Amino acid sequence: MIKSVLSILSDLVRINSVNSSYEGGPGEGEVARYVKSFFEEHGIEVEEQIVFPGRNNVIAHLPGCDPNRRLVLEAHMDTVSVKGMTISPFEPTVADGKMYGRGSCDTKAGLAAMMHALAEIKASGVVPPCEVVLAAVVDEEFSFRGVVKLCNGLEADAGIVAEPTEMRVVVASKGTLRWRIVVRGKAAHSAKPHLGINAVSHMARIVLALEKDHADLAAHGHPLLGPATCNVGVIRGGVQVNFVPDECAIEIDRRMLPGETAAGVLAHYQSILDALHTLHADLDVSMESPMLVDEALETEQDASIVVAASRVLMDLGFDGSPAGVPFCSDASKLSRAGIPTIIFGPGSIDQAHAAVEWVPISEVEQAAEFYRRVILSFE
């Protein structure tokens, strides 16, 4: 007997799998044990892959007619923290056609739907055209180490990553680049400011120059993603009011489009700083190496996984046209490993990480059917 997709989802939500990099988070251990025994109970071969001590990816294999072709289904097992939640995070509640709880949307719904699809195909005795690998991975919500480990040596012909996409086939997502710019000035008594170099004043020039540059970004949009964006999110400088500040730093979050590289983007910002330096000889500014680099995802719209997924979605009565999302996921890492990858899952990113997290139950059930049909039709 296969449990309903809804009861698999309830079981998953009931298990606290807050990423252990967040305060009080136990990590994925208990969910990993649940996923592993689910596949064992259904006679599906399953193995574990150690990512960190006590934090393993769980990888199930379903043989296909063609052992040389492989489809990877991937979903993360961790969640963000429960801080600020206004519902019980680990008591899965059903009301108004929705399932509530931490991870119900991001991304235990997609994981439950993928697990159900595999179990159903196994029970039916039908052998899918290609080998199917279902990877339930750790650490998507912090540093993506689970998928990086998975991709190490992985060969596959297509990938589907579960994230809430409101039942759209997502072929493009923005990348993220985060780094710091630091200005060094010269300290002096505030009664004699001409003896110092004010790092805060210099940084103000830089922030305004960036703002001007960001307006230009809006002029060039990607058809599915819109324009790249940039946000100066943090500024720190100065020690106390009667000192000339000798240091000021900003932190920048730049969302990248397909085709942009971190090196190319950083070179552009360096040229802005160089231009300011020619106007202000005493400007001492440097860019630190990035804190985060995640390049964008763009899968060809005529890739066979996109064609297969769009057809299945249309058969189920949904919009099958390819879409884009602004958020990062594991998909860009599979794509960089040479695997044409789409993102697909029930629910909306607006409810992910939210104080009240929920997913529409009907979408979870339809997503299971979507994954099942794609597995059976992808050749």
Q: Residue 131 — φ and ψ, nearest 5°?
A: -60, 140
Q: Minimum distance from CB of 141 to Zn ion (Å)?
A: 7
Q: 6 with 115: CB under 8 angstroms?
A: no
Rounded to whole angstroms, the Cα distance separating 164 from 375 reads 19
The residue (of 107 and 335) whose beta carbon lies closer to Zn ion is 107
Q: Minimum distance from CB of 93 to Zn ion (Å)?
A: 21
Q: Minimum distance from CB of 321 to Zn ion (Å)?
A: 23
Binds Zn ion (CB under 5 A): choice among 78, 106, 131, 365:
106
Rounded to whole angstroms, the Cα distance separating 59 from 346 reads 22
Candidate ranges 18-26, 155-163, 223-231, 296-304; the one touching Zn ion (CB under 5 A): 155-163
The residue (of 75 and 248) whose beta carbon lies closer to Zn ion is 75
Q: Minimum distance from CB of 108 to Zn ion (Å)?
A: 9
Amino acid letter for position 48: E
Convert 343-357 to b/e letters by CB count within 10 Å (16 or more is b).
Answer: bbbbbbbebbbbeeb
Q: Minimum distance from CB of 222 to Zn ion (Å)?
A: 22
Q: Minimum distance from CB of 300 to Zn ion (Å)?
A: 24
Rounded to whole angstroms, the Cα distance separating 165 from 182 reads 38
Q: Residue 184 — φ and ψ, nearest 5°?
A: -110, 130
The residue (of 19 and 198) whose beta carbon lies closer to Zn ion is 19
Candidate ranges 54-62, 107-115, 340-348, 356-364; the one touching Zn ion (CB under 5 A): 107-115
The residue (of 106 and 298) whose beta carbon lies closer to Zn ion is 106
Amino acid letter for position 238: G
Rounded to whole angstroms, the Cα distance separating 126 from 359 reads 30
Rounded to whole angstroms, the Cα distance separating 223 from 104 reads 31
The residue (of 128 and 346) whose beta carbon lies closer to Zn ion is 346
Candidate ranges 60-68, 98-106, 126-134, 176-184; the one touching Zn ion (CB under 5 A): 98-106
Rounded to whole angstroms, the Cα distance separating 317 from 320 reads 9
Rounded to whole angstroms, the Cα distance separating 129 from 378 reads 7
The residue (of 121 and 343) whose beta carbon lies closer to Zn ion is 343
Rounded to whole angstroms, the Cα distance separating 134 from 52 reads 20
Q: Does 166 bind Zn ion (CB under 5 A)?
A: no
Q: Minimum distance from CB of 328 to Zn ion (Å)?
A: 9
Q: Residues 6 or more apart from 274 whose CB is under 8 A from it?
A: none
Q: Binding to Zn ion (CB under 5 A): which residues in 357-376?
A: none
Q: Minimum distance from CB of 105 to Zn ion (Å)?
A: 8
Binds Zn ion (CB under 5 A): choice among 17, 56, 107, 173:
107
The residue (of 141 and 295) whose beta carbon lies closer to Zn ion is 141
Amino acid letter for position 185: G
| CA proximity to 357, closest of 16, 83, 89 | 89
Tell me the per-residue interface mask from 2 to 41 with Zn ion, x by CB under 5 A, - otherwise. ----------------------------------------
Candidate ranges 104-112, 193-201, 207-215, 238-246; the one touching Zn ion (CB under 5 A): 104-112
Candidate ranges 6-14, 162-170, 252-260, 288-296; the one touching Zn ion (CB under 5 A): 162-170
Q: Minimum distance from CB of 172 to Zn ion (Å)?
A: 17
Q: Which two tokens stand for residue 205?
A: 């020039």
# residues near Zn ion by CB under 5 A: 3
Measured at the CA of 106, the angle between CA 104 and CA 112, to 5 degrees, comes to 60
- Characterize the bridge pairing of strands 158-161 and 66-76: parallel
The residue (of 106 and 294) whose beta carbon lies closer to Zn ion is 106
Rounded to whole angstroms, the Cα distance separating 177 from 294 reads 6
Residues interacting with Zn ion, by CB under 5 A? 106-107, 163
